[in-house]
Structure 1
């Protein structure tokens, strides 16, 4: 297997730095100066390896979507043959599985999407892919369940999960996470 090129390594280094800056300062606050400082590179190298600010945002979004798709696929593959939905619920609401930087980056992308129709479309598609993955899991575990109920329960699970994850950076919300997991389990019990 070929080694990554210097440019590919540089791009990854820059995107890592950009992600850290977006998590800390938001999309607008993640300036080229801050990214360069975080990456330990000259600002000109950022432009040379990735491009202008719009290209940098596009690269971050594409990487974010690609990585999360891969993580979702891996998570689904690791689920047991039975009770997959309940095991997934345990994983989703386990604080050990939360990634504060990921949460802050996704929150920043959703906020930036308010003023960017192209980004909004990408984030909507990303959200719907996750909901559809949950719907498939429900259908696999509960094949005789009405499609409308499957859709409603999947939307409830994703909505509750996104809410809890978005509040994770605040810390000390263990009771909220525990109660939210219980709410999801109540939704799952509707499927029986």
Structure 2
């Protein structure tokens, strides 16, 4: 009987290291040497388990979208049946639910999308899907609100949320987070009219 393959485990380690490097140095700065150092592996093992930089980038993109989708599914599943909208806002703007690495990888992918039309399309769909998920929660909480207003408010909440998350790594953004949460709640309250 042969030894069990550790390729899946090794690939996960490499992708974790690559995410950390992308978060710190961006796509271009996340060299195979840096990834190997972060993972504590020889560069040859990265090539053996994942492939070249293009393959590594492609794996990161797929992982990013898989993780993002699961995070939204988990977020929606965590909401109560009643008062979903305010709980959603609480979760979105609670620093305990953030993931700095994921945010920085998202920002790096958005920057990389400028030269990659297929990635740009996927990133746009990613944002559209997030807005749609927020809109679905708002429609549940405010069933009488006009569809256009619900979409506009969901878009506004998304913009506020992404702005705060993108600035969180600066540190000391407690006031910005608190005030942004309040702005999002005020925006949601316009659906009561």
Instruction: Kindly report which structure 2 residues correspond to 1:1-192, keeping only aligned pairs within 5 A, or say none.
Output: 5-192=5-192
Q: Provide runs of 4+ in structure 1 moved above 3 Å.
A: none
TM-score, normalized by length of structure 2? 0.95
- Measure, in 2, the Cα distance between the counterparts of 1:132 and 1:152: 11
- Measure, in 1, the Cα distance between the counterparts of 2:109 and 2:5: 28
Q: CA deviation at 1:15?
A: 0.1
SS in 2 for 1:145: coil
- Measure, in 1, the Cα distance between the counterparts of 2:26 and 2:116: 14
SS in 2 for 1:81: coil
- Measure, in 1, the Cα distance between the counterparts of 2:61 and 2:5: 22
- Measure, in 2, the Cα distance between the counterparts of 1:84 and 1:159: 19
- Measure, in 1, the Cα distance between the counterparts of 2:13 and 2:121: 27
TM-score, normalized by length of structure 1? 0.95
Q: Number of aligned pairs?
A: 189
Q: CA deviation at 1:43?
A: 1.0
Query: 5+ residue gaps in structure 2?
Result: none
